[in-house]
């Protein structure tokens, strides 16, 4: 018997090793490099010794950036059989010769779908990658990708849509959500690509941030037909696990969110998909959704074939800080106290990494439920504890005090200290308040959608982090003072839908959320009606707002006097006029406010952006270095500060980490053992995306999408490929 068990153990270990050896990390056929989500390449042609010789191999420009600098391109392209597939700022899908950049074909959804581009520069939506699938015969090969609320199936050979998929070539992600139409905000969009398991496309989606958000249920579709095959309800129904974590017995009928917008990872051997979720709709007030709120802010393990629940862990209880899990988890085998563990590691906006046994969900390192402050906001009941991992060590700073306020010069320090003191000091997980709280790391992390790279040979994680405080202040919803005039009603509509982005003073917040003051100098009523209904640039459509509310909003924004409700001659929407759950929300916020000085620099002492190495075996932070710089500060003798970063790293067996993502519009290569910068190159626009790498005929390429458009950066529409000089 002992001999039998020993033989079985040896065979099991051999099979496990063989499975790991079979994983091909030399190409880039999947978003994030592999279904494990590790952004790792086994290519070794580019090394620390020769990386300084990298040169531009080719450039592809789609020519469809927004001239007003509001478009982006966050796509991590894939390479299949020598062809590179990716998307443009206007979400056209392209196929290029991966060695030369020569165009093979371009699919434009606007040629098929008349709603794809309603205005010349409207609907610059976000797409972070595409999905490749082929049948067993290799004859049916497809690219599946998202354009807003639609997921298309495209023939790999021809670049044409496949009419037999879904509704004439696409799935409408806003349908089949197991909720009555008209009972939720219809904004649903695919941002990060799903994953393929056999003949299933497993998908998440983005939803609105408001309390009327659509449900975030996880769904799997037949990759051939687009038929819905299974669904996991992220807001549990009666009798289901987690239903009792909501005080409201009808929560499953009313609330949305708990969605996967950041991507997922797949263990194909076990048939398990790992799904991180975001917060429940209504980011900063949970008084109408009391309870722990499963499955918001959770890492969920599901049977990939059936959608059946296996295990979960909630990393934020009753989230009122917008602490969505921001990226796909990483699947890696670690060595912990001499024992090999197949693990799943999840990064967070807080700068924590949670590590679990992949099969059981047991934490690899102890996680402590620590007491956190109570809310001082009437109606809110914050959860009394939050789970904090003891290891790995955080990759972002965890406190922001007056000693941390920027001191670039004495005048700056004085100004920023005065502003700091106007906000109530708060430790992590201090609930939102009318006195204001600091969100640090900020709303965009810490960790963000760019995700982490993990070297499977060493189990070392490489992760970029922004270290910028944001402030959050709660206010009463504007317009609830009883003013029944058309403009008064419009102020209430503004307070319900617009104030969190454009502010109570309507001044906006820089390039991300523009001012909406003096709108009558920019638009007439017809134009503004169209913008509200259809969306524009990064603003989603609000077609679900009932027509009388939209008339009132226009009266408020355009300062129209002397009109009564219903007097507008503009088109009347057929949207539902039923009472919204938003009517139950008594509070709004003053917006998403970065703590910046008058020159646009963060109001905290550097570093402002970092690249970090975390050993997942020991949980120790190995090194931390600044990522990015402001050249004008460097010239003043200030060491590189780092910048706010968006997009992720890739790590190679050749010894390098490649990452762009910085405001200084550069891509860099770091030595993965030390964090030393070994090479950098200027890009035509900031590369707020994750690079891809692959080899063709012995030449390794590194490709980055240069889309810019965030945090005041100019927009771009090019892809740049770097490689070593060709041998002559």
DSSP 3-35: HHHHHHHHHHHHHHHHHHHH---SSB-SGGGST
What is the distance between the alpha carbons of residues 448 and 466, in angstroms, rounded to a whole number?
Answer: 9
State residue 398's pLDDT score.
Answer: 96
Tell me the DSSP string of 436-464: -EEESSBTTBSS-TT--EEETTTTEEEEE
Domain boundaries, the chain: 12-473+596-723, 478-584
Q: How high is the pLDDT of residue 6?
A: 41
> Which pLDDT score, from 0 to 100, does residue 565 have?
45
SS3 content of the chain, % helix, strand, coil (to 5): 15, 30, 55
Cα 672 from chain centroid?
25
Structure tokens at 89: 């700022």
Alpha-carbon distance of 87 to 518, in angstroms, equals 36
The number of angstroms, rounded, from the C-alpha of 627 to the middle of its chain's C-alpha atoms is 20
Mean pLDDT by 10 residues, the chain (728 residues): 39 44 83 98 98 98 91 97 97 97 96 62 73 96 96 97 97 94 89 97 96 97 98 98 98 97 98 98 96 98 98 98 98 96 98 98 98 97 98 97 94 94 88 96 96 98 97 87 72 78 78 78 81 72 75 84 50 47 90 92 97 98 98 96 98 98 98 98 98 97 97 96 92
What are the φ/ψ torsions at residue 493 (nearest 5 degrees)? -65, -45
Residue 331 in contact with residue 33, Cβ under 8 Å? no
Coil, strand or helix at 526: helix
H/E stretch holding 671 reads strand 666-671
Measured between alpha carbons, how far is residue 573 from residues 86, 210, 362, 577 in Å?
36, 21, 51, 10
Rounding to the nearest 10 degrees, give the CA dihedral for residues 34, 36, 38, 42: -50
Task: For residue 402, give the DSSP letter.
Answer: G
CA dist 684 and 496 (Å) reads 39
How far is the C-alpha of 419 from the C-alpha of 471, rounded, in Å? 10
d(CA 554, CA 565): 11
Q: Looking at the domain that runs over 478-584, which CATH code has it been given? A: 1.10.760.10
Q: Would you put residue 486 in left (φ > 0), alpha (ψ -120 to 50) or beta?
A: alpha
CB 448 within 8 A of CB 646: yes
Name the strand (E) or helix (H) holding 644.
none
Architecture of the domain whose range is 12-473+596-723: 8 Propeller (2.140)
Positive or negative torsion for Cα 180, 183, 186, 192: negative
pLDDT at 250: 96
CA–CA gap between residue 14 and residue 1 (Å, rounded): 20
pTM: 0.92
Q: What is the pLDDT of residue 512?
A: 65
């Amino acid at each position: 018997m002992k001999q039998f068990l020993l033989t079985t153990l040896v065979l099991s270990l051999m099979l496990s090793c063989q499975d790991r050896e079979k994983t091909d990390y030399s190409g880039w056929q999947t978003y994030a490099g592999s279904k494990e989500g590790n952004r790792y390449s086994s290519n070794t042609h580019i090394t620390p010794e020769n990386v300084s010789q990298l040169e531009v191999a080719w450039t592809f420009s789609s020519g469809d950036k927004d001239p007003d600098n509001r478009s982006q391109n966050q796509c991590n392209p894939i390479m299949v059989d020598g062809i590179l597939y990716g998307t443009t700022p206007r979400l056209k899908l392209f196929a290029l010769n991966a060695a030369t950049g020569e165009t093979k074909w371009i699919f434009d959804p606007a040629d098929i779908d008349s709603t794809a581009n309603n205005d010349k520069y409207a609907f610059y939506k976000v797409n972070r990658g595409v999905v490749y699938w082929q049948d067993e015969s290799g004859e049916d090969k497809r690219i599946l990708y998202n354009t807003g609320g639609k997921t298309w199936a495209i023939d790999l050979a021809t670049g044409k849509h496949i009419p037999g998929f879904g509704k004439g070539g696409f799935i409408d992600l806003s349908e089949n959500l197991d909720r009555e139409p008209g009972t939720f905000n219809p904004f649903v969009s695919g941002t990060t690509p799903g994953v393929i398991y056999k003949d299933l496309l497993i998908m998440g989606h983005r939803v609105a941030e408001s309390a009327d958000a659509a449900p975030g249920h996880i769904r799997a579709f037949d990759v051939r037909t687009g038929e819905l095959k299974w669904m996991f309800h992220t807001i549990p129904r009666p009798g289901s696990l987690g239903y009792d974590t909501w005080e409201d017995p009808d929560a499953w009928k009313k609330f949305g969110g708990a969605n996967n917008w950041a991507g997922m990872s797949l263990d194909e051997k076990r048939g398990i998909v790992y799904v991180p979720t975001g917060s429940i709709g209504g980011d900063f007030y949970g008084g109408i959704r009391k309870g722990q709120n499963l499955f918001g802010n959770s890492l969920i393990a599901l049977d990939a074939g059936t959608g059946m629940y296996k295990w979960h862990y909630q990393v934020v209880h009753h989230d009122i800080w917008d602490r969505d899990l921001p990226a796909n988890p990483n699947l890696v085998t670690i060595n912990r106290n001499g024992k090999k563990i197949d693990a799943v590691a999840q990064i967070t906006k807080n700068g924590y990494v949670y590590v679990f046994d992949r099969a059981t969900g047991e934490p690899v390192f102890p996680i402590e439920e620590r007491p956190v402050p109570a809310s001082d906001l009437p109606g809110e009941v914050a959860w009394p504890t939050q789970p904090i991992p003891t290891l790995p060590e955080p990759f972002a700073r965890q406190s922001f005090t007056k000693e941390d306020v920027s001191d670039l010069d004495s005048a700056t320090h004085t100004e920023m200290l005065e502003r700091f003191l106007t906000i109530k000091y708060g430790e992590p997980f201090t609930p939102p308040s009318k006195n204001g709280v600091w969100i640090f790391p900020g709303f965009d992390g810490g960790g963000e959608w760019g995700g982490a790279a993990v070297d499977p040979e060493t189990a070392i994680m490489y992760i970029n982090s922004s270290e910028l405080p944001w402030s959050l202040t709660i206010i009463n919803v504007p317009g609830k003072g009883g003013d029944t005039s058309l403009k008064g009603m419009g102020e209430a509509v503004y307070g319900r839908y617009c104030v969190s982005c454009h502010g109570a003073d309507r001044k906006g917040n820089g390039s991300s959320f523009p001012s909406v003051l003096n709108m009558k100098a920019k638009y007439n009523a017809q134009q503004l009606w169209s913008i509200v209904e259809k969306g524009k640039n990064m603003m989603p459509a609000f077609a679900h707002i009932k027509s009388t509310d939209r008339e009132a909003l226009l009266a408020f924004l355009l300062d129209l006097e002397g009109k009564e409700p219903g007097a507008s001659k503009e088109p009347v929407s057929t949207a539902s006029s039923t009472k919204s759950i938003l009517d139950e929300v008594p509070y709004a916020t003053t917006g998403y406010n970065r703590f910046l000085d008058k020159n646009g620099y963060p109001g905290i002492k550097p570093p402002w952006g970092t690249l970090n190495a975390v050993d997942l075996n020991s949980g120790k932070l190995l090194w931390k270095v600044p990522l990015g710089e402001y050249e004008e500060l460097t010239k003043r003798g200030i060491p590189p500060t780092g910048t706010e970063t968006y997009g992720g790293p890739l790590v190679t067996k050749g010894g390098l980490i490649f990452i762009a993502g910085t405001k200084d519009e550069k891509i860099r290569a770091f030595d993965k053992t030390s964090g030393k910068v070994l090479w950098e190159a200027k890009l035509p626009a900031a590369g707020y995306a994750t690079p891809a790498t692959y080899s063709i005929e012995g030449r390794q390429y590194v490709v980055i999408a240069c889309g810019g458009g965030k945090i005041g950066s100019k927009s771009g529409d090019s892809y740049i490929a770097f490689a070593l000089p060709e041998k002559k």
